[in-house]
Structure 1
Amino acid sequence: MRHQNQRIPFLSLSIAFFSLSIIIHCKKDAGARRENVGTSKKDSVLAAKKDSAQAEAQKPKINYSEFIFPAKKKDSAMAVFNDKFSAEERYTILALNRLDSKNKWRADTLAVPDKIDTTLMMYSPFPTHLDILDEVHKIVLFSYPIQAYALYEKGKLVKWGPTSLGKKNAQTKRGLMFANWKKELAISTVDSDWKLPYNFNIHNTLGIGWHQYDLPGFPASHSCLRLLEDDAKFLYKWADQWTLNKGGASVKANGTPVIVYGDYNWGGKKPWKNLVQDPKANDISIDDLNGIIKPDLSKILEEQKKTDEVKTQLATASEAGRPAA
């Protein structure tokens, strides 16, 4: 019995030690898993940033040359321009110079790319991807400095193009706004003779919206955001409207977020003319856009959450065959 009594404590001690070893080992494994998860997330973020940087670096190199319209020989120069380039090529070149076909007579010097891409994506001054927008379904950015807009879906640039924002004494409001209501043909409140195709309001009280109208190669609107016709049509279908509460007196959920930012070099050289000397002269950096978007990001995501909830409610009500609240 004495021999057995001596072995029992030893056996108990061995079991306890073994159990403790298992616990310590499990804790180490759990810690390692948590560390691996953290590392995995960090690696994913770094990989995404690396992909974005590589995408920017892989943009095709574009060189620009000048096409000059001498004041005393403008008609003959225009004839050469029309003969040298096809209709699609002319459209592309004019768009890069913030002009439409109707206003090409205003040109004095055009920046002409050595490669023609009718989608304009090859010439984008905006980054192809913005990690800061990965969780944002859709957003529209309007740049005053380069008179251009960009559309992003979950951080990916899907389209960009020229615009003409508010002139110096009637500038477009800067900051975050949201797409509200749209009308295929609206009438201007400034002048009833002004017809505004594919109008999409973004500030109801100020009456600001984007729509098709003349692009003369500089900021010329009465605070609205002018677009080429094809671009206005695209945005008309692409952007989401607001949702109003029953009776229409208040907003239940906002539409697509819109940010107008920056300032124009009033009276200075048109920024796109700098492309001849520096093809990247109009490029906007990821860091600059991050700085513009970050102050409004929480509000954008907050409003997006409301919109998603309202869409779910409407879909559920529709499936149940009952009117939405």
Structure 2
Amino acid sequence: MGVPRGAHSPLATIFFVAIGLLLLCPTTNAQLTSTFYATTCPNVSSIVSTVIQQALQSDARIGASLIRLHFHDCFVQGCDGSILLTDNSTTNIQSEQNAGPNVNSARGFGVVDNIKTAVENACPGVVSCADILALAAEASVSLSGGPSWSVPLGRRDGRSANQGGANASIPSPFDNLANLTSKFSAVGLNTNDLVALSGAHTFGRAQCRTFVNRLYNFTASGPDPTLSSSYATTLQQTCPQNGNGAALANLDPTTADAFDNNYFANLQNNQGLLQSDQELFSATGAPAALVNSFSSSQTAFFQSFAQSMVSMGNIGPLTGSSGEIRRDCKMIN
């Protein structure tokens, strides 16, 4: 898993109205709390952060990959760690990792396993894999220069996967604004959430196959007209026609591994890498206004992003006696 002057401008008003609506609608599930592990695993956040810090030393992409896992998990039958389950004929599990939005692109599973091992060594049988994904997403953002927030915890792990649901529900890089809005609405997220969470594309990479259609013969006259011609030319060097679809391009061509608000300035300059990115600014209305607001104020973006991450993390969690605490994130107990 992308928006921004003056304290009294209409754009600022839109932003504060959006925040006000979020505050009117509680974003934390009453059964989740940031102090859930205060007595049973008090150091869990620092354990997660330490493992990710180590991983970042050799893999600058890992932060973006981990937040994407949390995003793709929550959009399919709620934030239950189902994306971590691998194929298993005995338990009749068809892994979501093999769904179109994830196959050959979702990554970071080894780091999740390392986190789980470290957490189990400190607090065996206590912390769910679903909570590890939520904590890893927050740590990945804050360690990359982005905001930090208190992560509501207490999710339990699901005992099933939903490959078909992953194919249908996860937003696609080819989606237009209507489809994006529909998919976010289906899980209880609004336009502010859509634009703010899209801002996670301020770091990480995307494979050529996810945007190469915009570079060649998109129209009779050539590339996608919503893509800067100079940017399209640069991308064609990375992604030649009929080239390697798995080759990578930076989602943010300016500060590829930093979590900042440059993503929104890129959209204003027609440098949104994915169609689903540029859609936020190409259409008129609230999404474009939020892009302008977030571009002009990193503080506004960071505040909204943190709120929306909490909202997303509260999509359909299993709590109480539902589900389980997996010993191994790849398989049910």
**After TM superposition, is the score higher than 0.5?**
no
TM-score by length of 1: 0.22
TM-score by length of 2: 0.21
Q: Which has the larger radius of gyration?
A: 1
Flag the structure with higher strand content.
1
